[in-house]
Amino acid sequence: MGDYEQLRDPYGRIIDYLRVSITDRCNFRCVYCMPESGFPVTPKEESLTNEELVRLIGIASTLGMSKIRLTGGEPLLRKDLPEMIREVSKMPGVREISCTTNGFMLTQLAAPLREAGLTRLNVSLDTLKPERFEPIARRGSLQEVLDGIQAAFDEGILPLKINCVAMKGINDDEAADFASWTLTKPVHVRFIELMPMRWSLDETPSDFDAFAAHGEKGLLQLRQARGDMLSDSQMRRMFVSAETLQESIEKVHGPLEPAEIATNGPARTFRIPGAKGTIGFISQITNDFCSKCNRLRLTHDGFLRPCLMSDGELDLRTPIRLGASDNEIRDLFRHVVAHKPERHYLAEGQKVVGRGMSQIGG
Ligand code: SAM
Ligand code: SF4
């Protein structure tokens, strides 16, 4: 990293982390992320090729972006993923190459990904109860994801983090169970606050009837039956704060003690005394970490975004396909960093209307 430039935004934040959404396709349909039918997928020619992605990541790495996370959509669906990881992990400026996945294909891919140079892994998992898995993810099964997590452990891909999105009335009663998992496994469970995202349809009178009759579970079932994703207002109502989750864990396990792990990122991290793993809270809504944000996001179709929650983005695909030089692309990175918003305004009612989470890369 030695001689590389270091990007700094107008608020003094050092930008050294690039999240790359390598595909907008997914084999799951999580209710807070996508409708049952999925989003219209981008034609292949509009998505960046492996070569184009690797080139852009390489340019970013020469600007001091030393941490690279590959996400999506579901990144494990891209057949060229091991090849991409191999190329990126050879870059002298890259210190860390990680991946966020739903874990469904990990049993087959844990070994090739580790061999290619993957250093860290986040697996998303919202429930430990088999009967709840399908209503939330609408595809796959809990056992397949747990087998995938075990395969990653067996390959020694550590640290292994579990991302859990808590929803009131759906899975918020499982926080203490997730915490129990950390007692015996060196797993880092991180609870992520539910974020109201784009494409969520407004509620209809039948939504309100279902809610009145059966609470959030009734609403979820109705939306399931119709193939919708959760609406913006439903997500706001299902919201559970990190603080509430911590309280429910402490009721069962007693006071948590602060813990440090090398890759805390924006999570506030704790441990049940004596536990092998840790428990983290990512409270981007109630206690935003914007003042410490060190990220840019690159979409699978080549747009660079300074903020997950603001729709502004800059097209890099057109310039690279028109023959722009590395220096010209570096200037575009600098331009985006110069326009990074100070913070998000979700608490004030801001809505993301341009792209969904699976299209930006969560
Ligand atoms: N498919 C991969 C996965 O699920 O891990 C990677 C992409 S997914 C968009 C990345 C993360 O975003 C997941 O942990 C998922 O739970 C989270 N996510 C998606 N929609 C969300 C929302 N509305 N609020 C909070 N987290 C969300
Ligand atoms: Fe797919 Fe991940 Fe979105 Fe679930 S959260 S639908 S696994 S992209």
Q: How confident is the model at residue 202 (pLDDT cuts 50, 70, 90)?
A: low
**Tokens 């502004």 appear where?**
312
Stretch among 75-84, 153-162, 224-233, 317-326 having the lowest mean pLDDT: 224-233
Q: What local confidence, expressed as pLDDT, does residue 212 receive?
A: 74
**Residue 352 in contact with ligand 1 by CB distance below 6 A:** no
Report the DSSP pairing between strands 120-124 and 160-165.
parallel
For the Cβ of 194 lying below 6 angstroms from any atom of ligand 1, the answer is yes
Q: How confident is the model at residue 201 (pLDDT cuts 50, 70, 90)?
A: low
pLDDT reading at 166 higher than 90? yes
**How far is ligand 2, taken at its centre, from the CA of residue 26, in Å?**
6
Measured CA to CA, the distance from residue 116 to residue 93 in angstroms comes to 17
Ligand nearest to the CA of 194: 1
- Give the residue, out of 23, 28, 300, with the most ligand 2 atoms within 8 A of its beta carbon, to mutate for a pocket test: 28
Q: Where are the domains of the chain?
A: 7-360
pLDDT at 263: 62
From atom 23 of ligand 1, which residue's Cα is the shortest distance away?
195
CA distance 149 to 145: 6
Q: What spacing in Å lies between the alpha carbon of 9 and ligand 2's midpoint?
A: 30
Residues with Cβ within 8 Å of residue 105, at least 6 apart in sequence: 27, 74, 76, 77, 148
CA 258, 259, 262: angle at the middle one, nearest 5?
Answer: 145
Q: What is the pTM of this model?
A: 0.93
Is the C-beta atom of 162 inside 6 A of ligand 1? no
- The phi and psi torsions of 19 (rounded to 5 degrees) equal -100, 125
Test site for ligand 2: of 20, 25, 26, most ligand atoms within 8 A of the Cβ: 26
The CA dihedral of 316, 322, 328, 330, to the nearest 10 degrees, is: 30
The answer to whether residues 115 and 7 touch, using CB atoms and an 8 Å cutoff, is no
What pLDDT score does 198 carry? Answer: 56
Question: What pLDDT score was predicted for residue 361?
Answer: 76
Q: pLDDT tens-digit profile of 270-304?
A: 999 999 999 999 987 777 778 989 999 999 999 99
Q: Kindly tell me if the per-residue pLDDT of 210 is higher than 90.
A: no
Sorting pLDDT into bands at 50, 70 and 90, what band is 267? confident
Nearest CA among 348, 237, 246 for reference residue 288: 348
**Which residue among 69, 192, 235, 239 is best mutated to probe the pocket of ligand 1, counting the most ligand atoms within 8 A of its Cβ?**
192
- The pLDDT value recorded for residue 180 is 97
| 93-148 pLDDT per residue, tens | 999 999 999 999 999 999 999 999 998 999 999 999 999 999 999 999 999 999 99
Q: What is the pLDDT of residue 360?
A: 82
For residue 55, CA distances in Å to 176, 317, 325, 342 come to 44, 11, 11, 28
Q: For ligand 2, say whether the CB of 72 is within 6 Å of any of its atoms.
A: yes
pLDDT of residue 229: 83
- Residue 254 reports pLDDT greater than 60: yes
Q: Is the CB of 71 under 6 A from ligand 2?
A: no
Is the CB–ligand 1 distance for residue 231 below 6 Å?
Answer: no
Q: Has residue 310 got a pLDDT over 90?
A: no
Q: For the residues of 69-108, what is the DSSP string, one character each?
A: EEESS-GGG-TTHHHHHHHHHT-TT--EEEEEE-STTHHH
Q: Is 189 in the pocket of ligand 1 (CB under 6 A)?
A: no
Average pLDDT, the chain: 90
Ligand 1 pocket residue status of 192, Cβ below 6 Å? yes
Closest ligand 2 atom to Cα of 358: 8
CATH superfamily of 7-360: Aldolase class I (3.20.20.70)
Does residue 76 have its Cβ closer than 6 Å to ligand 2?
no
- Ligand 2 atom having least distance to the Cα of 100: 2
Nearest protein CA to atom 13 of ligand 1, as residue? 124
pLDDT band with cut points at 50, 70 and 90 for residue 362: confident
Largest Cα span, the chain: 63
Task: Provide the 3-class DSSP secondary structure of residue 160.
Answer: strand
28 CB near ligand 2 (under 6 Å):
yes
CB of 74 closer than 6 angstroms to any ligand 2 atom = yes
